[in-house]
Amino acid sequence: MAFFSDDENKIEGILQVNQSWQNYSDKEDKQIDYSNLDINPRWSFRRTIVRNAFFRISVVRIYENRCAFCGLKVIKNGNQNIVDGAHIKPFSQFYDSRIHNGISLCKNHHWAFDMGWFSVDNQYKIIISNDLEEVSPHAKPMKDFHGEKLLLPKTEQLFPEMEALEWHRQNIFKA
């Protein structure tokens, strides 16, 4: 089980950060009176930034900085890359920033996933919407990915959650 240059401790660290943040977030949520959030929007904004950073870093790392859809990997200066940690079930609705609710996607495929242009089945195979019209003279068209397996983390325990993928297919995907 090697993720980052054969250093298994790094993945454990990411999982601990993810779990610690979730525990902290749950505890903080119980202490917050959400009816008064407009009083201190700066606190809410900072908390959102930290949560987004932990989620993105964790998800992108377990996918080795690659888009799970197309495999694109572009890194600059060792720490900037072109992929996002995409929520399967929107955070705005479910407040779920666990790794299992995330997929690493490049900017184009993140947007397409959020718009329901593609989804993922129970075998982690890509499903493309039937009504896409596409011209991709210099890249593989999205339609050609239909039926291909999503690129997944090396360890099954880090795979996207089936329940989240099913929710996405039923509520976001536009077949």
| Each residue's pLDDT tens digit, 140-175 | 999 999 999 999 999 999 999 999 999 999 999 987
Number of domains making up the chain: 1
Say if residue 25's pLDDT is above 50.
no
pLDDT for 169 equals 97
In-domain check, residue 140: yes
In-domain check, residue 153: yes
In-domain check, residue 3: no
Q: First and final CA of the chain: distance in angstroms? A: 36
| Each residue's pLDDT tens digit, 105-122 | 999 999 999 999 999 999
Say if residue 63's pLDDT is above 90.
yes
pLDDT for 47 equals 59
In-domain check, residue 2: no
- Mean of pLDDT over the chain: 80
Question: Which domain, by its residues, includes 111?
Answer: 8-171
Say if residue 38's pLDDT is above 50.
no
Owner of token pair 């068209």: 141
Percent of the chain with pLDDT over 90: 58
DSSP 50-80: HHHHHHHHHHHHHTTT--TTT----EETTTE
In-domain check, residue 147: yes
Say if residue 96's pLDDT is above 80.
yes
